[in-house]
């Protein structure tokens, strides 16, 4: 037989508490401040061809470095704290590392791109940046000498707002 008496004592309190918690849960799911991070995706090219493996890092003037693995087609997505979250708005010095599987050839790219101070890859990310970043590297040799400071990786990349 089912009792029609209201729940009293600890059982009544527990039932009401559970009902309130689950009743308000949908209100709080997804709430919270928006993320300050800007999602950053892009490609790495060397001599006009995609770099198929390696790591891209964005070095801020201060704070945590963001990194992303280079995959097929030279594609990467940056992570600072959680997978794919991106970076905080600001200007970064980018570096790229790409090691060869062949022990005779240690790096697939010139070593200058592995250091923030010598890479020449400067990228500015704005709060509403949406366009993919394209990092263009140039091999050492005659092509690199002709590129000078205005071509290839030596030019500054800016992620400006896009019009919708």
Asked whether residue 33 is domain-assigned, the answer is no
| Residue among 126, 123, 99 nearest 37 (CA) | 126
- As a residue count, the chain comes to 164
In a domain, 12, yes or no: no
CB atoms closer than 10 angstroms to residue 107: 14
- Rounded CA-CA distance 44/70 in Å is 8
For residue 68, tell me if it sits in a domain.
yes
Number of domains in the chain: 1
CATH number, residue 48: 2.60.40
Range of the structural domain that residue 59 is part of: 41-159
Q: Is the pLDDT of residue 158 over 80?
A: no
Decide: pTM greater than 0.75.
Answer: no
Residue 4 has which token pair?
Answer: 């029609």
CB 53 within 8 A of CB 144: no
131 pLDDT band (50/70/90 cuts)?
very high
Please report whether residue 8 resides in a domain: no
Would 71 be classed as within a structural domain?
A: yes
Residue 64 lies in a domain: yes
Matching residue, tokens 């061809």? 49
Least Cα distance to 44 among 91, 79, 76, 92 occurs for 76
144 Cα distance to chain centroid: 28
- Give domain status of residue 15, yes or no: no
- pLDDT confidence tier of residue 1, bands split at 50, 70 and 90: low
């Amino acid at each position: 037989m089912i009792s029609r008496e209201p729940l009293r004592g600890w059982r009544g309190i527990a039932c009401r508490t559970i009902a309130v918690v689950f009743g308000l849960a949908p209100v709080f799911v997804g709430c919270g401040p928006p993320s300050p991070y800007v999602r950053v995706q892009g490609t790495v090219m060397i001599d006009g061809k995609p770099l198929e493996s390696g790591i891209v890092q964005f070095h801020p003037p201060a704070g945590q470095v963001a990194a992303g693995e280079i995959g097929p087609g030279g594609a990467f997505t940056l992570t600072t704290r959680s997978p794919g979250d991106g970076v905080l708005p600001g200007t970064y010095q980018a570096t790229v590392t790409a090691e060869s599987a062949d022990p005779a050839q240690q790096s697939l790219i010139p070593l200058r791109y592995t250091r923030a101070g010598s890479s020449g890859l400067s990228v500015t990310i704005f709060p509403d940046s949406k366009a993919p970043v394209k990092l263009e590297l140039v091999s050492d040799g005659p092509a690199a000498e002709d590129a000078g400071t205005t071509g290839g990786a030596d030019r500054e990349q800016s992620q400006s707002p896009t019009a919708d």
